[in-house]
Chains A and B, each alone.
Chain A
């Protein structure tokens, strides 16, 4: 028995050679990646002192700035208002995205348009999904200017990619027995859509859209950094002066972002759990 175990043990695959080669390649690439980064001790020492100031100042939350009160400040200037603005832009953007995604979802669904057209629809959706949203925001901000509309359109267009794909999937995976049941009792097309398709896919569509809202809110926080509106704008303003960044402002904005994203994350998770 023991000999048998020994022979099997000796026949075990020798993966360590491949592992070592792979490790060497990866570590080599990692070292190569740092070659161009111009690390030197002086800049690291400077970063060290700057890091100290950052830690000291970033926790010094400016509550007047946060809630928008104090001398000469109105609610509109505060971070809370910027948060509301960001949420509003995300809401409308996701709404537009969801509405636009419906026709794309039908176009990419094999059940609705057949295999060949579904391929075309899917390719369009992949291209939309892959196009980096920040570049889209950048292009739109140059064309439309710094209005909330820029962020809304960016979010709307970018959401089509993922929402369309998931919509198509939920249409394709739909349980068709209820449609047959409706056919058997003589329902017309509208009744079939109303009582057969909509109740079937609505919870899933809502759940997917809520999830997308969550993702969009995270990306809406950074559009400000490429010049579009939202909560990223005060952050980029606070960090403009690289010699002496306004860390306490940045800290205030970061705190707001963390609170907002965690809250919406929790809320959307709760609602999605209720839906399913």
Chain B
């Protein structure tokens, strides 16, 4: 380690740069991981990708551009299905998350033996993505929008539970104590102190989760739930142009919802 002596007599040590430990370690990790997934570059064919993109985003064979865009207009039902699925799932999940979030907030429920397991349960719920819940729900109840609703509800439940208990834990508790000191019971004190602080955050989170869910739900039909994804699943073997048209509709839907959600959330603040 280098030691410098300054003109005023003080000696300064050059701080050790962790860069020279972290970077070789990272490179070693990358090399090790490269052995896990050997990539056969001779099989990788980027021209195939161009072919597929052309198949998806131009009309097939004798069809015209009119047919291509006309097909998009016939997707109204599927768009409605996707929206219904997302709406119902988000609402159910977010409502069910409220009591669980309250139980797991350490400032409301002082009993650690109760809040810790619930928190852990919410953590586990969040590790499983919507699409995986859908695959499980489809295997359980069959095709349709019902497994989609269930999957979205389960995912929303996990993420809302976590976000909400974190919000409740950072709430200002002095109004709660003030209300208790003037004789309000716990429920009343909660209603007029914590609830009023949490309500706008809760609504904003719900809209945010709806927005995440709409992005995920576009593809849920591909594993057997309803909505736009099922159109892709039905056409994936023979009609690539229809798949492409559906993808454009999906993207438009997601974009519109995103802009709307941004707008509403900005208004709420």
B-chain residues with CB within 8 Å of residue A250 when the two chains form the complex: 136, 139
* Contact yes or no, B140 A149, CB < 8 A: no
Which of these, A32, A84, A254, contacts B36 with CB under 8 Å? A84
* Contact yes or no, A47 B140, CB < 8 A: yes
Contact residues, B30-58 vs A (CB, 8 A)? 30, 33-34, 36-37, 39-40, 43-46, 48-53, 56
Contact mask B65-105 → A, CB, 8 Å, 1/0?
A: 00000000000000011001101100110000000000000
Chain A, interface residues (CB within 8 Å), range: 35 or more
User: With the chains together, A273 CA to B122 CA distance in Å?
Assistant: 22
CB-based A-B contact count at 8 angstroms: 165
A-chain residues with CB within 8 Å of residue B138 when the two chains form the complex: 239, 242
User: With the chains together, A95 CA to B33 CA distance in Å?
Assistant: 13
Q: Check: A59 CB closer than 8 A to any chain B CB.
A: no
Which segment, of B2-10, B107-115, B163-171, B216-224, faces chain A?
B216-224
Closest to A51 in B: B140
* Contact yes or no, B33 A91, CB < 8 A: yes
Contact mask B117-146 → A, CB, 8 Å, 1/0?
A: 000000110011101100110111110111
* Contact yes or no, B43 A145, CB < 8 A: yes
Which of these, B44, B88, B127, B254, contacts A144 with CB under 8 Å? B44
User: With the chains together, A138 CA to B243 CA distance in Å?
Assistant: 10
* Contact yes or no, A33 B30, CB < 8 A: no
* Contact yes or no, A147 B39, CB < 8 A: yes
Contact mask A128-145 → B, CB, 8 Å, 1/0?
A: 001110110011101111
User: With the chains together, A33 CA to B83 CA distance in Å?
Assistant: 8
Chief secondary structure at chain A's binding surface: helix
User: With the chains together, A219 CA to B39 CA distance in Å?
Assistant: 21
Total residues of chain B contacting the partner, CB 8 A = 60
Q: Check: A218 CB closer than 8 A to any chain B CB.
A: yes
Q: Check: A85 CB closer than 8 A to any chain B CB.
A: yes
Closest to B22 in A: A206
Q: Check: B255 CB closer than 8 A to any chain A CB.
A: yes
Contact residues, A242-264 vs B (CB, 8 A)? 242, 245, 250, 254, 257-258, 261-262
Using A91-B29, A130-B215, A132-B215 as known contacts, say yes or no to A148 and B39 having CB atoms under 8 A apart.
yes
A259 to chain B, nearest CB (A): 9
* Contact yes or no, B141 A47, CB < 8 A: yes
Contact mask B4-22 → A, CB, 8 Å, 1/0?
A: 0000000000000000000
Which of these, B84, B123, B219, contacts A32 with CB under 8 Å? B84
* Contact yes or no, A236 B127, CB < 8 A: no
User: With the chains together, A88 CA to B218 CA distance in Å?
Assistant: 27
Q: Check: A43 CB closer than 8 A to any chain B CB.
A: yes
B36 to chain A, nearest CB (A): 4
Which of these, B51, B84, B136, contacts A36 with CB under 8 Å? B84
Using A139-B52, A236-B223 as known contacts, say yes or no to A132 and B254 having CB atoms under 8 A apart.
yes
Which segment, of A4-12, A112-120, A221-229, faces chain B?
A221-229
**Chain B positions near chain A (C-beta within 8 angstroms):** 29-30, 33-34, 36-37, 39-40, 43-46, 48-53, 56, 80-81, 84-85, 87-88, 91-92, 123-124, 127-129, 131-132, 135-136, 138-142, 144-146, 149, 215-216, 218-219, 222-224, 226, 232, 247, 250-251, 254-255, 258
Subset of 17 A-B contacts with CB under 8 Å: A30-B88, A36-B80, A51-B140, A87-B33, A91-B30, A130-B251, A130-B255, A135-B247, A138-B219, A149-B44, A225-B131, A226-B219, A236-B135, A236-B223, A257-B127, A258-B128, A262-B127
